[in-house]
Amino acid sequence: MTAGHGAGLTVVTAGAQMFADSLRAQGVTTVEVAWSPPVPGTEDALTSVMLDRRRLEANAKALAAMTSAGAALADVRPAHQALDLQPGHFLHAGPPIAWDQMPGPLRGALIGAVVFEGLAATAERAEAQLDAGDFTFEPAHRLGAVGPMAGVVSRSMWMFELHDEVHGHRSWCSLNEGLGKVLRYGAYSPDVIERLRWMRDVLGPALQTATRATGGIDIVAIIAQLVQMGDEGHNRNRAGTLMLLKELLPALIRSGLPTGDIADVVAFISDNDHFFLNLVMPACKLMTVAASGFPGSTVVTTMARNGTDFGIQVSGLGEEWFTGPAQVADGLYLGDYGPDDANPDIGDSAITETAGIGGFAMATAPAIVRLVGGSVSDALATTRRMYDLCVGENPRWALPIMDFRGTPTGIDVTSVLRTGHLPQINTGMAGRVAGVGQVGAGLVSPPMECFESAIGALAAAVPRAASR
């Protein structure tokens, strides 16, 4: 308390407006909370978790781990080397899912991957074998890997391998194929398979040679720059892609590879503004893995979708998934496609929002704000709202338009349920039918069910001594 009578007191009020009015009438600076009741049915669990004496410190530790993680591109290797993937075993995006529950894009991508691996001669044969249960699948997240959209990885696909020297973790992501009819959007036509073969035979080895020659590329540092160059790291990675190319070019040119191959590789990367997404994602995965496993922490460490279910993981609960039905994004459609053509939300790319960029950094990407169906001020408001859902900020990734405030980082399950506000995710939209490919891009949120079931588990995990 200060000596001055009434001087300098600032009060936050939540509840009856008359008390705020009374404070203002006394000349007190008063900030009124736009209060709304917590999500119905979560009140008791929320109370237990909010009163858990471990919560604040655990969240602070999770945030510190997340924002201190390193992410260097250390190598580029085939999945059978990097992850020991066996023939007939495939990774996919999102939480676990059985073949008969998989949506069109994921089925299409698996069909394509089976054909690409030479396990079936035709798409029809591949589908029949998949129906027959000849192959096995698991979430990429389980192995520390991530994949955009369908996220399907087979053993011959090449992977970026990133290393966090601070925490001693590794993460992996496939190479980005470009836009339109591509495997990750569920397309499996011959040109898709042909492109995958070129990536396996030319792109992957060239990137391996160049990466090894660089001695490692600091992806965290590139992200720090791209968020100051109009990219939000999820739906816009134009600056990031160019900066990566800049890092790789000298080594590519010195590699001794055929000039034509080098030109093809450079053209492929240059023509695909999303190429760097597949490096942002594993970098974000390293951050969120570092934040995982702090008992009592309510920080979200994974948001991922398999096109049927949206799943989250929470720091204090390890690798347990909390799922709800994936939503269809609200956005803009390519050509004649419309909402009826879009598959519900799919992909591990929401790891970018989990680590505080993508939709959370919308304010820094005015060039794509119309994806929000809106304006630059909407984008600024979105980022501001995301600060309100997060436990802190990431000073390494400063947003100029927000006065160089760090990106909003560490989604707090309790904040989501207390306010009813959901995280915003920028995303691409895959066609509902296997083989169609991309139909649009837009915005989506997780279903509230994920957070509702997570708070129940968090409350059940509160030790009796920590909350009475």
Partner 1 sequence: MTRQVEVRGGSYRDSVGLMQVSRDLRALAGVSSALVAMATELNVDLLVSMGFEQPSGLGPGDMIVAIEADDADAVMRAREALDSALAARPAGTGATDGSADVPPPSIAAAARRTPARLALISTPGRVAAIDAADALGAGLDTMVFSDNVTIEHEVSLKETAAAAGLLLMGPDCGTAVVDGVGLGFANVVRPGPVGIVAASGTGAQHLMSLLDGAGIGVAHCLGVGGRDLSSDVRARSTLVAMDRLDADDEVSTIVVVSKPPASEVAGIVTAHAGRLATATVLGYLGAGQPDLTATAERVAAAAGLTWVPPRRWGGPLPEPRRGFVRGLFVGGTLCDEAMLIAAAELGAVASNIPLEGGRRLDTTLTASGHTFIDFGDDTLTVGRPHPMIDPSLRLERLERELADPTCAVVLLDIVLGLGAHRDPASDIAPLVGRYDTPVVVALVGTRDDPQGLEGQAATLVHAGAVVHASNAAATRDAIAVIQRSST
- Footprint on residues 298-327 left by partner 1 (CB under 8 A): none
Please tell me whether residue 234 binds partner 1 under the rule CB under 8 A: no
Amino acid identity, position 144: G
x/- mask, partner 1, residues 381-410, rule CB under 8 A, reads x--xx-xx----------------------
Residue environment code for 11-25, b if the CB has 16+ CB neighbours within 10 A, otherwise e: eebeeeeeebeebee
x/- mask, partner 1, residues 342-371, rule CB under 8 A, reads ---------------------x---xx-xx
Which three-class secondary structure state does DSSP give residue 230? coil
Residue 312: beta bridge partners?
A: 303, 322
For partner 1, how many residues bind (rule: CB under 8 A)?
Answer: 77
CA 206, chain centre distance (Å): 27
Residue 282 and residue 219: Cα distance in Å, rounded?
A: 9
Please tell me whether residue 132 binds partner 1 under the rule CB under 8 A: no
User: Taking a C-beta distance cutoff of 8 angstroms, is the pair 111, 154 a contact?
Assistant: no
Nearer of residues 54 and 396 to partner 1, judged by Cβ: 54
Please tell me whether residue 38 binds partner 1 under the rule CB under 8 A: yes
Burial class (CB in 10 A: 0-12, 13-18, 19+), 197: exposed
CB of 166 to partner 1, least distance (A): 27
Q: What angle do CA 288, 138, 331 make, to 5 degrees?
A: 65
CB of 106 to partner 1, least distance (A): 22
Answer for which of 220, 350, 380, 444 binds partner 1 (CB under 8 A) is 380
Which of these ranges, 63-71, 113-121, 260-268, 418-426, lies near partner 1 under the rule CB under 8 A?
418-426
Please tell me whether residue 50 binds partner 1 under the rule CB under 8 A: yes
Please tell me whether residue 230 binds partner 1 under the rule CB under 8 A: no
C-alpha closest to that of 398 among 281, 277, 223: 223
User: Taking a C-beta distance cutoff of 8 angstroms, is the pair 79, 157 a contact?
Assistant: yes
Which of these ranges, 34-42, 79-87, 103-111, 283-291, lies near partner 1 under the rule CB under 8 A?
34-42
Helix 277-291, helix 219-226: angle, nearest 10 = 110
DSSP codes, 73-103: EEEEEEHHHHS-PPTTEEEESSS---GGG--
x/- mask, partner 1, residues 425-454, rule CB under 8 A, reads ---------------xx-------------
Which of these ranges, 92-100, 161-169, 218-226, 411-419, lies near partner 1 under the rule CB under 8 A?
411-419
Which of these ranges, 29-37, 76-84, 99-107, 347-355, lies near partner 1 under the rule CB under 8 A?
29-37
DSSP codes, 363-383: GG-GGGGGGGTS-HHHHHHHH
x/- mask, partner 1, residues 1-20, rule CB under 8 A, reads xxxxxxxxxxxxxxxx-xxx
Distances (CA, A) of 424 to 104, 234, 238, 432, 438: 24, 12, 21, 22, 20
Q: What angle do CA 53, 56, 59 make, to 5 degrees?
A: 130
Torsion region of 208: left, alpha or beta (phi above 0 gives left; psi -120 to 50 gives alpha): alpha
Give the number of C-alpha atoms closer than 13 A to the C-alpha of residue 420, restricted to the C-beta side. Answer: 9
CB of 291 to partner 1, least distance (A): 18
Please tell me whether residue 56 binds partner 1 under the rule CB under 8 A: yes
CB of 55 to partner 1, least distance (A): 8
x/- mask, partner 1, residues 178-207, rule CB under 8 A, reads -xxx--------------------------
CB of 212 to partner 1, least distance (A): 32
CB of 31 to partner 1, least distance (A): 5
Answer for which of 92, 170, 418, 432 binds partner 1 (CB under 8 A) is 418
CB of 102 to partner 1, least distance (A): 25
Answer for which of 216, 295, 324, 374 binds partner 1 (CB under 8 A) is 374
